[in-house]
Structure 1
Amino acid sequence: MQKGYWIVRVDITEPEQFKAYAAANAIALKNHGARFLARAGRFEVPEGSTRSRNTIVEFPSYQAALDCWRSPEYQAALQLRLPASAIDLVIVEGYDGPQPD
């Protein structure tokens, strides 16, 4: 089974409100087996565009990643985030095929 990932790019407009969202989303993330692979660390943009923060969240499966976003717990947290930020969020299935030599 392939893992699932949230790839998130965010601009925070209301830092205190965003902190409330981050605290609230922890319940949904934990319930769906999520773990952070990258969270607001240093980054460069050699091509394209970005936002001020980037996060990658790993889930045990693609379905778990979808289920987390759709869960009542995350949807409640989302209501805290909407007025506090602008984001791009992609849910993607992991890859387990051939790799470069």
Structure 2
Amino acid sequence: MAKGYWIGRVDVHDDEGYKPYAAANPAIFRKYGGRFLVRGGTFECPEGQARSRNVVIEFPDYASALACYNSPEYQANIKVRQPHATGDIVVIEGYDGPQP
């Protein structure tokens, strides 16, 4: 079964205000089997437009990734983030087919 992922791109406008959001996320993600694959780190954007922070979170499957995003805990935490950051989050099913 294909895994599920969150791909997040974020610009934080207030680091102090953003900290409670970031601190609450690990417990929420853990509840749905999520784990960070990318959390910040050095990057280049050779095409398109970038945001200052990038995150990739892996879940056991797409349903778990979507359930986490739609959970009451995460929906409440979004309200903590919104005054302090602008971002894009994509919830996507991983590829489980043949590789080149």
TM-score, length of structure 1 as denominator length: 0.95
Give CA-to-partner distance per residue, 1:12-38, whole Å, 9 cap, x none: 011111110011222211100100000
Mapped pair 1:40 → 2:40: yes
Corresponding position of 1:13: 13
Counterpart Cα distance in 1 of 2:50 and 2:67: 26
Corresponding position of 2:80: 80
Amino acid of the structure 1 residue aligned with 2:46: P
Corresponding position of 1:96: 96
**Considering only aligned residues, what root-mean-square deviation do their CA atoms show, in Å?**
0.8
Q: Percent identity?
A: 56
> How many residues are treated as equivalent by the alignment?
100
Amino acid of the structure 1 residue aligned with 2:18: F
Mapped pair 1:63 → 2:63: yes
Deviation at 1:43, TM superposition (A): 0.4
Corresponding position of 1:52: 52
Runs of 5+ consecutive residues of structure 1 not aligned to the other structure: none
Give secondary structure in 2 for the equivalent of 1:78. Answer: helix
**Preserved CA contact (<8 Å) 1:39 1:56:** yes
Counterpart Cα distance in 1 of 2:25 and 2:72: 11
Counterpart Cα distance in 1 of 2:94 and 2:54: 18
